[in-house]
Structure 1
């Protein structure tokens, strides 16, 4: 064989092999699962966890006391609310890289967007008010505009907004109250007394039933909110310190973490009964349901770890060390919120 032809053929084979390898690497990178984000409230940073290896791969500094996080309507950023830092840090949900920081957002402890993407609401946990913003995205720049600051009772805690983007429900933790605010007018519709130390809320997809976790008790209260003012339907025994909710994504079940009892209850929100209980260590708090429908993530507040629960085995199958007082947990690879 002519040496020149041999060299050309060899180079051709090498080029094809190289292209194939690069294509495989590119495909693998494109298919890499998005990271899991855990907010370390007492470290002012975010633990970034690789779900393939279940290891913390880096820490991302944010503001003081990050507690909760939420995806922007365009799904391009995760907003980390830094309560004591009076700021919101935007992270890329696929890489956890910091995109930008909004300052002057006063005490954003909890945060929610309305489904119509018009309203953004924050609960100022330490300063006893609720802020209602409009948002705009011009040329890729995200901007919040404060419409009204509404004085609230003691320690506004968590927010739920109905599917029609009309009403925001807010728990007032140390007033032991629930209040409803009309978003369009920013007026308080009503305030009622509820059980001891109300925390997170779960509004069923039909907007009819509102569940409230009572951190100062051992139960979840279920209210009928379909006809104006909330009316108590029933109390669901769960465990001491009922606190945070996360939908299973199957249009029927929701989990509640019982922080003091060290358990998680699975509630059928159609029958308003507990159907499963999972043991968890050291103060279970916020949760995330993975898209596989089998894996539930929960921050163990007092142990500084992220616990991974296999729902089929009904057991904690691994724990990943994170920072101090981990609170919010989130990943783009999550189950439906319904």
Structure 2
């Protein structure tokens, strides 16, 4: 176990728990799942209830948990090509690209909206002034008119669905916006969080942890009152990437591309609690459908821009009951697995091959994989549709 790293900016220590969600939110959630009674987790107002306190992902556990909202959505993989300024659209039944369309400059992620009705392409222009969000209609798979937004590297949604959080990476800022019009509500400055990019939310929705890619820090943010609660410096490494909440919504896993592994963090206490070595260039994190395993994409390099065909590129699988790596899947011939998601049945893990201009279709039972050529430098692809009541954002983190 790693030494606990102390927070160098004091945290309030409070989780900001609020009364349980109102009756109408509970009824809406119950319409999707009657599998288990509502737990006693106290959530922020208007957030759908936590059905199982042991597993915040219980309502996204398989195809039977599909929302009626996505019933007529196309089954597609949407791949943003960072250097191609485009999105490649793949039919996963054939592993073929069936469409490619232009979007804004430097598209980073394809982000499902909280209400599951829109897929947003975050075109951040890598810090330039012409950032935008391109909406995709998941019924047709076609893009709509872009909305000008400052520096949208990534995007999340508060668990109550009231606001989008645009992660302005180059600005070291979080912009809380209307989730439909993207009108700005309020900004939270995070000056010590250089390269702020990925996030995960607590079980009750009251706070989120954000990674600081170029600063070795984690930031804890109050999602209700829109304020920075504290900063935590990791004990080693120095390039935290993706972060995901454990099934209990209190423990968090943080991929660090320089540490070559995954840190564990107690989110409530905001303390580092352990470290799991996984492979070179640890980057993306995704749970399987029953939230018992964690898929870890190891990009194969410590470099931000390459190299191509890294022999060290692969995927590690962590048993979440023991926090031990139980198997690894190397990329045949080398590769650069980055961001993605799993299919509704959990049988396939799709990841972008960031520096190889391909995406990987990985069989989660055998580790066998196929490569599908796409545009230049694919990044945060999404697999759609996904089971679940609502989307937290990123590449489709569902609850």
**TM-score interval for Structure 1 and Structure 2 normalised by the shorter chain:** 0.7 to 0.9
Secondary structure of 1:270's counterpart equals coil
Structure 2-normalised TM-score? 0.71
Contact 1:279 1:315 (8 Å CA) reproduced: no
SS at match of 2:290: coil
Flag the 1:182–1:305 CA change in 2: closer, same or farther, 3 A. Answer: same
Match of 2:23 in 1: none
Kept after mapping to 2: 8 A contact 1:123/1:159: no
The aligned residue for residue 90 of structure 1 is 135
What residue number does 1:16 align with? none
Q: CA deviation at 1:52?
A: 2.3
Residue 102 (structure 2) aligned to one of 61, 66, 80: 61
Structure 1's unaligned 5+ residue stretches are 1-29
Match of 2:189 in 1: 150
Instruction: Give runs of aligned pairs for residues 95-244 of structure 1, distance below 5 A.
Output: 95-103=140-148, 105-135=149-179, 137=180, 142-153=181-192, 154-194=194-234, 195=236, 196-226=238-268, 228=269, 230-244=270-284
**Contact 2:78 2:110 (8 Å CA) reproduced:** no
CA displacement at 1:163 relative to structure 2: 3.4
Alignment partners' CA distance in 2, 1:148 and 1:32: 33
Q: CA deviation at 1:143?
A: 3.9
Query: Structure 1 residue aligned with 2:122, among 51, 57, 81?
Result: 81
Structure 1 residue 304 and structure 2 residue 304: aligned? no
SS of 1:319's equivalent in the other structure is strand
Secondary structure of the 1:328 match is coil
8 Å CA contact 1:219–1:239 kept in 2: the answer is yes
Change (3 A) 1:315 1:128: same
Residues 32/82 of structure 1: CA separation in 2 closer, same or farther (3 Å cut): closer
3-state secondary structure, aligned to 1:179: strand
Superposed CA deviations along residues 135-185 of structure 1, whole A, max 9, x for unmatched, are 3x5xxxx44333124133211121222232211211111111001011222
Deviations 1:11-68 (A, max 9, x none): xxxxxxxxxxxxxxxxxxx989522111100111100111222111121111111111
In structure 2, how many angstroms separate the alpha carbons of the residues matched to 1:69 and 1:32? 15
Q: Pairwise mapping of residues 34-73 of structure 1 onto structure 2 (< 5 A)?
A: 34-73=75-114
Q: What's the TM-score, normalizing by structure 1?
A: 0.83
Q: 1:31 to 1:167 in 2, by over 3 A?
A: closer
Aligned 8 A contact 1:83 1:107 in 2: yes
Structure 2 vs 1, CA of residues 119 and 53 (structure 1 numbering), >3 Å: closer, same or farther? same
1:335, distance to aligned residue in structure 2 (A): 5.7
Q: Which residue of 2 aligns with 1:254?
A: 294
**Does the 8 Å CA contact 1:304/1:324 hold for their aligned counterparts?**
yes
Q: 1:159 to 1:31 in 2, by over 3 A?
A: closer
Partner of 1:289: 342
Q: Which residue of 2 aligns with 1:20?
A: none
Q: Does 1:324 align with 2:376?
A: yes
Retained in 2: the 8 A contact 1:94–1:332?
no
Which residue does the alignment assign to 1:8? none
Higher strand share: 1
Q: What SS does structure 2 have at the residue aligned with 1:126?
A: coil
Residues 209-238 of structure 1 show CA distances to partners (whole Å, capped at 9, x for unaligned) of 111100112110001123x3x122210010
- Summarize the Cα distance change of 1:32–1:147 in structure 2 as closer, same or farther, 3 Å threshold: closer
Does structure 1 conserve the Cα–Cα contact (< 8 Å) formed by 2:115 and 2:161?
Answer: no
- What is the CA–CA distance in structure 1 between the aligned matches of 2:159 and 2:72, rounded to whole Å? 29
Question: Are residues 64 and 212 of structure 1, via their aligned partners in 2, closer, same or farther at CA, if it must alter by over 3 Å?
Answer: same
Mark the runs of 5 or more structure 2 residues left unpaired by the alignment: 1-70, 301-311, 389-397
**C-alpha RMSD of matched pairs (Å):** 1.9
Q: Give the 3-state SS of the residue equivalent to 1:49 in structure 2.
A: strand
The structure having more radius of gyration, on CA atoms, is 1
What SS class does the counterpart of residue 81 from structure 1 fall into? strand
